[in-house]
Amino acid sequence: MWDSLDTTEENTAPRPVREPRAAPKAERTRTGEREAPRARSTPRAPAPRGLPWAWIAGAAVLGVVLLGGLVWVVVAATRPATKKDETVTPKPTPVVPKPVDSKPKVIHPDDRKAATTFREHRATLIVLPEGEPLLTVKPDDPLPAGKFALIEVNFVGVEKVHANYAADTLLPNVAGLKSLARIRIQTRLDLSADQVTAMTAMPLFATLERLETATELTPKSLAELKKFKSLRDLTCRIPAADDALFVQLGDFQNLMFLTVLDLRQSDDVTEKGWRAVAKLPLVKLFFYDSRISAAAFRALTAKGAQRALMIAGGTFDAEALLELSTRPSDLSDWFWLDLRR
């Protein structure tokens, strides 16, 4: 049976031939045109895997860089911008008045003679021994053995000196002193305008800082007192006050302490005169046994007057004190003492 089958190629049925795959249909674009079929991309090779520590190190370096940049931005933002051509002007240093130097520059041989004379009238002295610090010599204390300069003559507490003490004793003994800084005589020793003029011709003209006597204040004596180079503290009596004298007193810009004795109220002193006195750069203004009007009190306590105001004895307008409580004032201190009680 099998022999009758012809196995030659001609007698066998041909095998089906596989047709090539048809190209993908072209897609239409939105414009209606056919788009060429996209080529099939070749698959990428898988990326090699890195070591974990390398990733950690890179992240740390990146964090440090970012943190440094952030700090730089903050510092740059807070730093005040300055221009290259801008010149910084330093603030002016406030001028502080220098204290007067009481240390004498010269030791004068006449100081012992004058000191001995003043001690006979129970004066307390301040002296500067050569090469040593200042020394206070009370009436019963011995004077230094060596050379010394006489700095202060103080009669505070001495009850009385004779009427001609200034002419007979004080002026002749201070005439040759080159270091005397303070004369303090609170026993109502009067100095006339002519005696003040005589003192301007003495060496103490350049060294006297404090004159605490009942110096008569007149236009003539006031003009002479202004010539003292170092005078800062003055005690005086004003027998006749008027606006002209007070305006002249207001020009005495070296004064820091002023004590006025026995001031009597006068119609010749108006608010103009008191305003001139109020302009003095005083630390303390003291009226003793004087009459202070309401107008005077208002001018002396006006805003801007940074001083201590003291009134002892005499008369005082109490209504002015009540009025002071209703307005601002720059007084550093003030008191009123009624000596009539």
* pLDDT 10s digits, 168-182: 999 999 999 999 999
Lowest-pLDDT choice from 102-106, 280-284, 311-315: 102-106
* pLDDT 10s digits, 57-111: 666 656 655 666 655 555 555 555 545 444 555 555 544 444 445 454 454 456 9
Q: What is the reported pLDDT for 53?
A: 55
pLDDT averaged over every residue in the chain: 76
Q: From the centroid of its chain, how far is CA 272?
A: 31
Q: What are the φ and ψ backbone dihedral angles of 249, each rounded to 5 degrees? A: -65, -35
Q: What is the reported pLDDT for 326?
A: 79
* pLDDT 10s digits, 188-238: 788 888 999 999 999 999 999 999 988 889 999 999 999 999 999 999 998
- Of 283, 133, 97, 105, which Cα lies nearest the Cα of 206? 105
* pLDDT 10s digits, 29-44: 444 455 455 545 555 5
- Of 185, 196, 247, 252, which Cα lies nearest the Cα of 221? 196
